[in-house]
Amino acid sequence: MSYLNIRGLHKSYGATPIFTDINIEIGQGQFITLLGPSGCGKSTLLRCIAGLTAVDGGQILLDGEDLVPMPPQKRGIGMVFQSYALFPNMTVQQNVAFGLRMQKVPAAEASKRVAEVLELVELSDYANRYPQQLSGGQCQRVALARSLVTRPRLLLLDEPLSALDARIRKHLREQIRAIQRELGLTTIFVTHDQEEALVLSDRIVLMNGGQIVQSGDAETLYTAP
């Protein structure tokens, strides 16, 4: 059985259906890209998985357990947004430690874990800086560290590279992939950029108009007649 199994998921905003029957299976440790045009429902799907918005039906089984009835903080999910969403009045170290404070992890253990993830994203020397003193790429690495420090069971990346310039984008995508492999972390990476999807993922899930239209590895999807 697959590690993440989304079955018959549907979601409307008011009377507007965004998607009505989403089915996706992902194996443990897999990195999949959810690729589709702007507005097709990718962010909404991630927000449903994370519990940031309520679903109208269906199941989200993670390791055999349905996430739908669970509050977001119990789901064990890490999420990174295009906009970084860092707290401007907190240092890098405080931003990363924030999720651990919420989980009441003891201080000594928390600082050890924060130091570990800052090393992983190569920001150990920036622990006492504030977000406005960092570049966009560095901010996104802080956001990544903040999501990893809670040791999530599933990582959701919502267009994490879109706000960055091309050179940084390429470097950071390699770094994200290397970290994901090292941690064996099951990951969904959302993008509207076909090239990004092609170079990054084990499997691409194509979404359009609120539906999964195709799914497979890059070769199968793009060499088919």
Q: Which residues here bind ligand ADP, judged by CB under 6 A?
A: 13, 18, 36, 38-44, 82
Asked if 87 and 94 count as a contact pair (C-beta separation under 8 A), the reply is yes
Nearer Cβ to ligand ADP (40/77): 40
Give me the least distance between CB of 182 and ligand ADP, in Å please: 28
Nearer Cβ to ligand ADP (41/51): 41
Backbone angles phi, psi at 178, to 5 degrees: -65, -45
- Widest distance between CA atoms in the chain: 57
Give me the least distance between CB of 21 and ligand ADP, in Å please: 16
Helix or strand (DSSP H, E) at 62: strand 57-62
CA nearest neighbour of 123 among 106, 148, 102: 148
Give me the least distance between CB of 199 and ligand ADP, in Å please: 20
Nearer Cβ to ligand ADP (36/51): 36
Give me the least distance between CB of 212 and ligand ADP, in Å please: 12
Nearer Cβ to ligand ADP (131/160): 160
Task: Return d(Cα 146, Cα 95) in angstroms, integer.
Answer: 7
Nearer Cβ to ligand ADP (42/203): 42
Give me the least distance between CB of 1 and ligand ADP, in Å please: 28
CA nearest neighbour of 43 among 210, 171, 161, 176: 210
